[in-house]
Amino acid sequence: MEKVVLGLSGGVDSAVSALILKKRGFEVHGVFLDIGTACPDDAAEVAEGLGISFETVSIAEELDKLVCRPFAEAYLEGRTPSPCILCNPRVKFPALIKAADIIGAKFVATGHYARISTDEKTGRTLLIKNPPANDQSYMLSYLSQDILRRVIFPLAGMEKSEVRKMAAAFGLPVASKPDSMEICFIPDGDYAAYIERRFGVPPEGNFVDEYGRILGRHKGIHRYTVGQRRGLGISAGHRLFVSKIDRRRNEVMLMPEGSGIREIYVKNINWIAFESPDAPFKASVKVRHSKIEYPALITPATDGVLVCFNDYIRPPAPGQAAVFYEGDKVLGGGEIDAFDFVG
């Protein structure tokens, strides 16, 4: 019987993943990845009910070093990283693979909504989008070939409603458990307070317009992200949004809504569908975790690519991921580094 290590979080997605894997004939070993603040009881109850082995593996130290600290430091630099995208290749999947290697399991699995395929011409493992309602390929775009070739996504092609229906039909105790919507290490969702606890309270500074004129005072650059419209506390005759965060000057630049960008530079790219591009190519691009994709021309450049969109788009935040798609296929993804506003 083929062994598989499953990340068992205690939520409905991983619970149904365990059920599906068992029905497919796998010997399932559940692993709860402990970050030091969550309780494994729900995961343990699911494992017991399904008759699969279960263990808790601490990832608190690795998570803090490779995700939590870089997350907080990036905010203090005026960037907006996505901790889940960073955690998947740096902490979560490596921990599952380590557990798999210990017991001689070939595969690891999670309850993510995405699909895996193989390119018959190149032999590369491909990451494919799930149905749009709950596709999570964006969050998995930094996974390497070494990781992807060992991954099973049992929920591939499924909708969330199907998953909950299956959980209820088999009497899984987490069938109606609400989804977690926040970052795991900031359960209350207060990013600013988390950063202040770690590094102290950053100083206030000036809101300025694109000409350097002072518009008001901000409460610390860690409280703002590029593209933000709400919570600025600035009274103007038109709606404003954050267009730039200057850490050196401790300034937050605001511009009128309607301004946009045509180009972004993307660095630290993880190519999935091929080694790396040697010529410009067309693709659709996600610049945030949403359903919206923008058609663009991707041009290889030094240490990254230049992305030229067909039309002006709402500005993304530096530090977020830009993910490139060809139809349902994920070509790769990297970190948004810089851009200029026009219009």
Q: Which domains does the chain have, with CATH numbers?
A: 3-111+154-169 (3.40.50.620), 203-256 (2.30.30), 261-338 (2.40.30.10)
DSSP-derived pairing of the beta strands 27-34 and 115-118:
unpaired
Which two structure tokens, joined as six digits, stand for 307? Answer: 């992305």
- Pick the catalytic residue from 39, 68, 184, 308: 184
- Average pLDDT estimate for 4-9: 97
Q: Pick from 93, 111, 150: which is nearest to 15 by CA?
A: 111
Nearest of 127, 109, 88, 149 to residue 29 by alpha carbon? 109
pLDDT at 225: 92
Rounded to whole angstroms, how far apart are CA atoms 87 and 139? Answer: 10
Percentage, residues of the chain above pLDDT 70: 98
Nearest to 8 by CA among 36, 24, 38: 38
181-210 residue pLDDT tens: 678 888 888 999 999 999 999 999 999 998
**How many whole angstroms separate alpha carbon 206 and alpha carbon 211?**
13
In this predicted structure, what is the pLDDT of residue 322? 97
Q: How confident is the model at residue 41 (pLDDT cuts 50, 70, 90)?
A: very high
Query: Exposed, middle or buried: residue 264 (CB in 10 Å: 0-12, 13-18, 19+)?
Result: buried
d(CA 289, CA 82): 9
Tokens of 100: 């798999």
pLDDT band per the 50, 70, 90 thresholds, residue 38 = confident
46-70 pLDDT tens trace: 999 999 999 999 999 999 999 999 9
Residue 6 — pLDDT band, cuts 50, 70, 90? very high
* Mean pLDDT value across the chain: 93
Higher per-residue confidence, 341 vs 333: 333
CB-based contact 298:334 (threshold 8 Å)? no
Q: Which region among 92-106, 134-148, 220-234 has the lowest average model confidence (pLDDT)?
A: 220-234
Task: Verify whether residue 87 is a known catalytic residue.
Answer: yes
pLDDT at 178 over 90: no
Token pair for residue 207?
């809101």
What average pLDDT does this structure show over 203-224?
94
Q: Is 117 exposed, middle or buried (0-12, 13-18, 19+ CB in 10 A)?
A: middle
The pLDDT, as a whole number, for residue 202 is 93
Instruction: Select which of 39, 68, 84, 87 is catalytic.
Output: 87
d(CA 45, CA 42): 5
Query: Cα separations (Å) of 118 from 45, 128, 153?
Result: 35, 10, 14
Beta carbons of 154 and 21 less than 8 angstroms apart:
yes
Q: Under 8 Å CB-to-CB from 28, ≥6 apart: which residues?
A: 4, 6, 18, 21, 22, 50, 52, 53
> DSSP secondary-structure letter at 121?
T
Q: Hey, which residues does 307 pair with through a beta bridge?
A: 264, 298
What pLDDT, on a 0 to 100 scale, did the predictor assign at position 343? 45
* Neighbouring residues of 300: CB distance < 8 A, sequence distance ≥ 6: 276, 277, 278, 279, 280
